[in-house]
Each structure stands twice: as structure tokens, then as C-alpha cells.
Amino acid sequence: MLKFIFLLFGCVSVFGAEAVTIPTMNFQLSSPDTPQQLVSSLNVLVILTLLFLAPSLVLVMTTFTRFVIVFGFLRQALGTQQVPPTQLLVMLAMILTFYVMEPVGTKAYESGIKPYMEQKIGYEEAFDKTTLPFKNFMIRNTREKDLALFFRMRKMENPQSVADVPLSIIIPAFIISELKTSFEIGFLLFLPFLVIDMVVASILMSMGMMMLPPVMISLPFKILVFVLIDGWNLLIGNLIASIK
């Protein structure tokens, strides 16, 4: 490496500095001269903002919250500590979220983004048409009670259509509805495994083995039951079926 550096400097000294062209980069901030330049700059800003907010949007506008919470409850009910790993559960939740939300995303692209890129509609119309499929999806999976809560706190009138519901209201209502649904599913998941724990604990107490942790004995039985009933297939199938 040192020989290469010395050789490079030798070539520069022999052939002169003018033989070596070093590119330069110049970054300047200037005011736009035409409205088209302003629109282009705003489009870049919007794209960068969406990329920055994409992880948050996945959490609050899709079924990712339901999947990841239910998987956490399942691991807690099984008592397997860090198995499956958190990274794997999050990745599985992301894949299932993509599977569920793909039709919604495709409809949003076809109705809003694609016509905007083809310069058939304006920015505001493209935004409304792009968010409308997501609004429909979120409202179908949001309880009326949760939606009315945020309208009441804002002191707003009841909307006449889905398009009249602002994102600032439907998103928090959708989140708390998803939290309630995921906790209900988690409670139902806990019940059969809790019964196994109670039965094993009762047997150990009747045998006088009070110093032996019941979890150590019940864990293989819970895993066996979960495998015999094909738990992953059953759980994921019912989770997807619960989405409207």
C-alpha cells in the first residue's frame, strides 16, 4: 500500500499536477426560479419524509401491531423465554402484515400514486385517493366506540363518508382498537396453557414435590400440545381471518 502511494506521488511529480484531474463537488442552496423547481423540491422533501416515517406508518396503519402483540403473548404463555427469538417474531409479523396489506397497497398505488406519476391528477387529489384505501381498511377494523371517542374529544360532527374522516382521528382510533383485539386474543391464548400449568402444579403438590418448579415440568407438555394441534397454522389462520 505504501509503495502504491509513493508510486502515485512519483507519477504526479513526473507528469505534473495538471495531468491529474481531481473532481470537485459543489453544494449550493438557492431559491427556485420557477414554480416547477419549487414543486420538484417539495416532491423530494415529501418522499424523504415518507421514507423517514415509513416504520411508524407500518406500526399505526397496518395489522403489524396485532400480529406482534399476539406473538409476544404466545411466547409468554408457552414460557419459552427467548424462543422463538424476538427478531424472528417481528420478521414474521412484518411478512404477515405485507401479505394482508398487499391488496390495500396495490389499490392505493393504482388509484393515487400511478395517476400522479403519469401527471393525470394533482398532488392533493393523489394524496386523497392514495389514503382512501387505507382509511377504508382501518375503519373496517376500528370499533365505532373508539372512533366516536376521538370525534367527541375534538367536538366534531359525525362524518358522512369515509373520506370525511381525517387521518388524525382514524389512526389513534385504529391503534386502540388493535390493542384491544390483540389483548383479547392473547387472553384466549393464555387459558389452555394456564390450565396445563395448574394441573402440573396440583400434581406436584399432591406428590410432595413442592421444591420442583412446575414450569420446568409443564413446559414440555405445553410445547407438545402446541405442536400436536398444529398451533402456528391454527393461530395465523385465525389471526388473518379476524381481519376484516
The DSSP line for 41-77 is HHHHHHHHHHHHHHHHHHHHHSTHHHHHHHHHHHHHH
- For the chain, 244 residues long, give each residue's pLDDT as a single digit of tens: 434 333 333 443 444 444 445 544 444 545 555 555 555 666 666 667 767 766 777 677 888 888 999 998 888 888 887 778 888 888 988 889 888 888 888 888 888 878 877 778 777 777 778 888 888 888 888 888 888 888 888 787 777 777 777 878 888 888 899 999 989 988 888 888 888 878 877 877 777 776 767 677 778 888 888 888 888 888 888 888 888 7
Nearest 5°: the CA angle 220, 226, 229 is 135
Q: What does the alpha-carbon distance between residue 171 and residue 137 come to, in Å, rounded to a whole number? A: 11
Whole-angstrom distance, CA of residue 158 vs CA of residue 175: 20
Which residue shows C-alpha cell 394524496? Answer: 127
In terms of DSSP H, where are the helices of the chain? Answer: 2-15, 35-61, 64-78, 86-108, 114-117, 123-140, 144-154, 167-206, 214-228, 231-241
Q: How far apart are CA 143 and CA 178, in angstroms?
A: 9
d(CA 241, CA 181): 13
Q: Which of 45, 29, 94 is nearest to 66 (CA)?
A: 94
CA-to-CA distance for 219 and 211, rounded, in angstroms? 17
CA distance 73 to 188: 10
**CA dihedral angle for residue 61, residue 64, residue 66, residue 69, rounded to 10 degrees:** -130
pTM recorded for the entire structure: 0.71
